[in-house]
Structure 1
Amino acid sequence: METTPDWVSLDFDGNDAPDWVSLDFDGNDAPDWVSLDFDGNDAPDWVSLDFDGNDAPDWVSLDFDGNDAPDWVSLDFDGNDAPDWVSLDFDGNDAPDWVSL
């Protein structure tokens, strides 16, 4: 039996379009960073996806059509069959902001 991943749509307002989910824990109306700090050294930790146990991160392939090649995931919110830009504008100046990794 073949299983295929299901899309999960975050549509809270019922307008048939995905909604933004803001992580605002301190209530200052701005998104907050979420730090993955498992060892308690006050620095973010790497999360390794190691499925085969060879102590090296594994690639995660998005292969929806079963042709053994990764598939593109298109973000098309306006339905014009072309990928849409997703703007990260945290400071509200109507320009994309840099995200530091």
Structure 2
Amino acid sequence: MKRFSVILLFGFSFALLAAQDTIRLTLQEAVALARTQSPQAVAARHQYKAAYWNWRSFKAEYLPSLTLNTSSALNRSISPVTLPDGSDSFVHRNQLLNGGTLTVNQN
């Protein structure tokens, strides 16, 4: 069983190697491929993108900022109310308070 699995493993590995196609490139194609896919080209592309986003965040610091703050409060209570005949009546009171501020800052 062990011998069979070793033979099977080598058979699949040779089949995979034989299945690869050969790519023929001209000198110009090889140079273009190296310019776009080499590790140095990928690193340069990432450095460019990082520098671009650093510049964008630097520019964003000088844009105005808009801040909206809101607050609300709900007060529910039962209050006694004296009626004209002298008796007291208890009524439900609901009070809603809303407030807000809008601030614009220019750096």
* TMscore range, shorter length: under 0.3
* Higher relative contact order, structure no. (Cα contacts within 8 Å, ≥ 6 residues apart): 2
Q: TM-score, normalised by structure 1?
A: 0.17
Q: TM-score, normalised by structure 2?
A: 0.16
